[in-house]
Amino acid sequence: MILVTGGAGFIGSNFILDWCESESEPVLDLDKLTYAGNLHNLDALRGDARHVFVRGDICDRRSLRELLARHRPRAIVHFAAESHVDRSIHAPDDFVQTNVVGTFNLLMEAQEFWSGLGAAEARAFRFVQVSTDEVYGSLGEHDPAFTEATPCAPNSPYSASKAAADHMARAIHRTYGLPVVTTRCSNNYGPYQFPEKLVPLMIHNALAGKPLPVYGDGRHVRDWLYVRDHCSALREVLKNGRAGDTYNIGGGAEKANLDTVGTVCALLDELRPRATGSYRDLVTFVADRPGHDRRYAIDASRIQRELGWRARESFESGMRKTVQWYLDNARWVERVVSGEYRDWIVKQYGSSAT
């Protein structure tokens, strides 16, 4: 069994779905079910004995200790995190608590559990710290892409909290020997993404005839990675990644935000045209957010060279799949936007779940 934290979130749920399509090994899914945790993401696994869900908090060390002792996972893939830059600007305390304190607690309990394993189990054990390219900071227009050797220079409370978690993971590995592997990915997009993020927000607003807000001049550049490509990279890292190392995971698709929004609009014009005009007519420029990184770019040559991984989806094919998924899953979007899924969580787990 492997333990996945944050398995009801966007990337975590896609990873579990991908895992269960590819592997027979069970997954222990630990999630606190905050606003971005949605068990409907995993409806396809209802009744599947390979998916074991436990509601819990990575900040609760006692519960973590009991969970590890009871289920004895051979690996931990750690997604659980607060992840939205805008939210981190308005409420940074939550990001420090979950991303820094929670990761520290999980690392220490994992180290204690790992130290009690037999020699063969201990050698095979892995802790995958799933991080972000945002820890590297911002690039200039002509700067080379981030490599694993690029120093961390975070510019938002979110990226600073993830950098702190990465440093703690490295320190626990170097000090105690816990076999940690860190991954840093570029901007993910795909099914089940909470509609506060750029791509699903543009799709939802466009279909509702609402403005499509674009920060600043819209020329902020991101490297886009289809979420299922990210999942396949993580499976490869878990299988063959070297303890103590870091692997950048990127889609090789640098796009200005305005161009990304334009791609979404063009696909919607084709797949769900408006009565008059183009969805591009809804683009509205808004004041830039504080500390907005100008450009991210990932050099993924190491994971390609050492582990043989490459992204399968191009930006165009991945974005087409994504837009089509949101069009085909209007009920999922409606539940999220209305908050109905939160009512379901209260029914299942009580008011303390919200």
- Our answer to whether residue 133 is catalytic in this structure is yes
Contact 155, 148 (CB under 8 A): no
Query: In 10 A of CB 231, how many CB atoms?
Result: 22
- Our answer to whether residue 57 is catalytic in this structure is no
Taking alpha carbons only, the member of 210, 209, 190 closest to residue 200 is 190
The single-letter code of the amino acid at 220 is H
Among the options 31, 134, 299, 313, which is catalytic? 134
Q: Tell me how far CA of residue 150 lies from CA of 168, 180, 302, 314, 343, in angstroms.
A: 17, 19, 13, 25, 44
Take residue 237 and report the two structure tokens written for it. Answer: 């890292």
- Our answer to whether residue 158 is catalytic in this structure is yes
The 3-state DSSP class for residue 250 equals coil
Residue 304: phi and psi, rounded to 5, are: -65, -45
| Distance in angstroms between the alpha carbons of the first and the last residue of the chain | 28
Among the options 136, 158, 226, 296, which is catalytic? 158
User: In angstroms, rounded to a whole number, what is the distance separating the alpha carbons of residues 130 and 124?
Assistant: 19
Contact 302, 183 (CB under 8 A): no
Sign of CA dihedral 87, 92, 93, 99: positive
Take residue 338 and report the two structure tokens written for it. Answer: 């209305």
The single-letter code of the amino acid at 198 is L
User: In angstroms, rounded to a whole number, what is the distance separating the alpha carbons of residues 2 and 26?
Assistant: 7
Among the options 31, 57, 133, 293, which is catalytic? 133
Q: Any idea which residues carry the catalytic annotation?
A: 133-134, 158
